Amino acid sequence: MAYPKSVRICDVGTRDGFQIEHDFIPTRDKIATIDDIVAAGVRKLEVTSFVSPRAVPQMADAAEVLAGIDKGPGAEFVALVPNLRGAENAAKAGARSILLFVSASETHNATNVNRPIAASLDGFREVMALAARHGMAVHGAISTSFGCPFEGDVPARQVASIARQMREMGIRHVALGDTTGMATPPLVRAAVEAVRAACPDLAIALHFHNTRALGLVNVMAGLELGITEYEGSIGGLGGCPFAPGATGNVCTEDMVNLMHELGIETGIDLEALCSVARKVEAMLGRQLPGQVMKAGPRSRLSGIDCAVRAVG
Ligand code: ZN
């Protein structure tokens, strides 16, 4: 099996993870977390979203976060925008990259943004024009690409059709999102192959949730298909809005650990990233689901004086 030689890891924790936190995270803590993740070597982050502060109060400081982060190390900072107004606010705040999202399921799109998929895609065309005027890069995300909590299976041809429409409006990079953790390796293969057949020159990223403990298994499926970009969240932050208490995004450090053990380069310092995850855990005051942040990489050995007898 030939895996990619290197992959790009995008951390979405400060957006996808933080947005479901009930208590408002101070802006300076959000900025410090982003700066720390970048200092550990991550070169793409979804940092915030320009949504209505009434809908998502946690993201009300999007402009301040974007203004406050250290742009020095040359990472790409992506802001999620739900519509033209969000894109205008992102442009005003100096965003260089924005992310447009639509669901592959009509029912999920209706519950999420209250409009049909076709209307979401029409809205993207207006955003593309605005982004061109402001020189912002536009990425796409297709949520519920591997299953919908209301409709069940989502046909791969539906995902491919949306991807093709995004490509035709000039989007070159699309993430297939497993919003509620319904992906499995066969579904990953079906969706990726359908999207590739429909748009051969589209860059594909994979965004899995670990809701049913298949997160890294699905990452492996993506690696076997030659996909070179994956999204995760620091410490495994996040959750599933339809399954209270369920695990959120694939954990970035756990994914980086897997990549390194497969001999795949990420450019990320795993120990440094684990320190950031522990810092975020302390900041939020509850245990995060990440595993490697607790056990350390397998290269970290224990002293013999730590040995415990008679354990399985
Ligand atoms: Zn997610």
* pTM of the model as a whole: 0.95
Q: How close is the Cα of 307 to the center of ligand 1, in Å? A: 39
pLDDT of 74 over the 90 cut:
no
The active-site residue, picked from 10, 240, 251, 274, is: 240
Question: Mean per-residue pLDDT for 207-231?
Answer: 97
Q: How close is the Cα of 232 to the center of ligand 1, in Å? A: 8
Q: How close is the Cα of 180 to the center of ligand 1, in Å? A: 8
* Domain ranges within the chain, ordered by starting residue: 8-306
Q: How close is the Cα of 282 to the center of ligand 1, in Å? A: 22
User: Is 240 noted as a catalytic residue in this protein?
Assistant: yes
CA–CA distance, 25 with 179 (Å, rounded to integer): 23
- pLDDT at residue number 112: 85
pLDDT of 242 over the 70 cut:
no
Give the type of residue at 141.
A
CATH class of 8-306: alpha beta
* Beta carbons within 8 Å of 45's beta carbon, 6+ residues apart: 10, 11, 12, 14, 34, 37, 38, 75, 76, 77, 78
Give the type of residue at 164.
R
Please state, as a whole number, how many other Cβ atoms lie within 10 Å of the Cβ of residue 193. 13
pLDDT tens by residue, 120-157: 999 999 999 999 999 999 999 999 999 999 999 999 99
Please state, as a whole number, how many other Cβ atoms lie within 10 Å of the Cβ of residue 285. 7
pLDDT tens by residue, 246-273: 788 999 999 999 999 999 999 999 999 9
